[in-house]
Amino acid sequence: MKITDQQLLDYIWDETLSAIVRNTFVRYIGNELGTYSLDVATSEPSGFAVLHRINLYAGAPLSQSRFRTRIKKLISQGDLLPRLGYDGRSFVINSIHLAPAVLKAVKLWQEAGLPFGYEGEGYIKSCKTIPAEGLDLFALSQGFYQILRKEYPSYM
Percentage of the chain beyond pLDDT 70 is 97
Instruction: Give yes or no for a contact between 112 and 130, defined as CB atoms under 8 angstroms apart.
Output: no
Write down the pTM of the prediction.
0.91
pLDDT at 125: 78
Q: What is the residue-averaged pLDDT of the chain?
A: 90
pLDDT at 85: 62
pLDDT at 112: 94
**Partners of residue 120 on adjacent β-strands:** 125
Half-sphere exposure of 52 (CA within 13 A, CB side): 5
Every domain of the chain and the residues it spans: 5-149
Instruction: Give yes or no for a contact between 9 and 81, defined as CB atoms under 8 angstroms apart.
Output: no
Instruction: Give yes or no for a contact between 104 and 147, defined as CB atoms under 8 angstroms apart.
Output: yes
pLDDT at 48: 95
Q: Could you report the per-residue pLDDT of 62-94, keeping only the tens digit for each? A: 888 898 899 999 999 999 999 876 566 899 999
Residue 23 has pLDDT above 70, yes or no: yes
Which bin fits 95, alpha (ψ -120 to 50), beta or left (φ > 0)? beta
User: What φ, ψ does residue 131 adopt, rounded to 5°?
Assistant: -65, 140
